[in-house]
Amino acid sequence: MNAPILQVRNIESFYGPIMAIRGVSLDVHEGKIVSILGANGAGKTTLMKTISGVMDPEKGTITFDGGDIQGWEPHKVVQRGVVHIPEGREVFPLLTVDENLSLGAYTRKDKDQIEQDRELVFRYFPVLKSRRSQEAGTLSGGQQQMLAIGRGLMARPRIMLLDEPSLGLSPLLVQEIFGILKRLNEEQNMTMLLVEQNANAALELAHHGYVMEVGRIVMDGAADALLQSEDIQSFYLGKQEEGARESRRWKRKKTWR
Ligand SMILES: Nc1ncnc2c1ncn2[C@@H]1O[C@H](COP(=O)(O)OP(=O)(O)O)[C@@H](O)[C@H]1O
Ligand SMILES: [Mg+2]
């Protein structure tokens, strides 16, 4: 296989004295979707921020397309083609859909291609075209997530870093958005690094998966193998069982009163 387009090696990242990323290494090959799974607080967002240059790692290297990018300013990382779509779909609520999309292209000067890319965004997200003059703050949660992804596409990514695009969305919307991500991967050969708590949806979309726990990678493998893995199933189902036990305990308590 070719060399990975993104290679992360032994990254350590801190918030003050707190070590949030404890020696993470991972590979993403061109044209693939790689998922990072893990519970709340595992360090997924911190890892994404470190790759996109929002945070600097204390140690380790991040190599993209053969060159090191760790410690670079975020706008330089974007120009290189590494585009971060942050958690919580941070669109500019008072700007229109079109203005938000234009901001995604702020590092670019190729006007004609920018307009072609806007049409590409509208091809994948037709609802954004019909609402292009509307203020982003008036869109639904799902539409705002679409706009956040569309704005990322306007930067001409060679890899998209997607941080929990399913957060707060209904299962139906998650299915719709993940379907569009799958088409972008297949039709545009878009490479993606996708962070998710929604393990099943993410592994169904991805080719490869990594599992993070307290700042470390604890497991990785082909996505279909992880989907079958008893460890993954018992981890996620285990949590559900814990919830069920909790509610049974609660019911017992109530009958005592
Ligand atoms: N701004 C911050 N300051 C201090 N600690 C933080 C900050 N953001 C996150 N953390 C801590 O870093 C760890 C990893 O957080 P995060 O990367 O947001 O996890 P995830 O995205 O997997 O939920 C957590 O223990 C969290 O409390
Ligand atoms: Mg997070």
Kindly list the domain boundaries of the chain, sorted by start residue. Answer: 1-81+158-169+189-251, 90-156
Q: Residue 3 has what DSSP assignment?
A: P
| Stretch 4-15: mean pLDDT | 98
In this model, does residue 75 exceed pLDDT 60?
Answer: yes
Residue 36 Cβ < 6 Å to ligand 1 = no
**Helix 141-153 and helix 97-104: axis angle, to 10°?**
30
User: What's the confidence (pLDDT) of residue 143?
Assistant: 96
CA 87 – ligand 1 centroid, Å: 12
pLDDT in tens, 191-213: 999 999 889 899 999 999 999 99
Q: Report if pTM > 0.85.
A: yes
CA 121 – ligand 1 centroid, Å: 31
Residue 15 Cβ < 6 Å to ligand 1 = yes
User: What's the confidence (pLDDT) of residue 59?
Assistant: 98
Residue 256 Cβ < 6 Å to ligand 1 = no
**Which structure tokens are listed for 9?**
């090696």
Please report, rounded to a whole number, the percentage of residues in the chain having pLDDT higher than 90.
Answer: 81
Alpha-carbon dihedral angle through residues 48, 8, 198, 243, given to the nearest 10 degrees: -100
User: What's the confidence (pLDDT) of residue 253?
Assistant: 43
* Mean pLDDT of the residues in the chain: 91
User: What's the confidence (pLDDT) of residue 20?
Assistant: 98
In this model, does residue 237 exceed pLDDT 70?
Answer: no
Ligand closest to 44 (CA) is: 1
CA 113 – ligand 2 centroid, Å: 33
**Cα R_g (the chain), whole angstroms:** 19
- C-alpha distance from residue 228 to each of 138, 219, 222, 224 (Å): 41, 13, 10, 6
Strand arrangement of the beta sheet that strand 33-37 belongs to: 82-85, 159-163, 191-196, 33-37, 208-213, 216-222
d(CA 97, CA 92): 9
CA 40 – ligand 2 centroid, Å: 7
Residue identifier of the C-alpha nearest atom 24 of ligand 1? 41
Atom of ligand 1 nearest to the CA of 43: 17
User: What's the confidence (pLDDT) of residue 236?
Assistant: 63
CA 23 – ligand 1 centroid, Å: 15
Residues within 5 A (CB) of ion ligand 2: 44-45, 87
Look up the CATH number of domain 1-81+158-169+189-251. 3.40.50.300
Helix (H), strand (E) counts: the chain: 10, 10
d(CA 135, CA 21): 37
Ligand closest to 47 (CA) is: 1
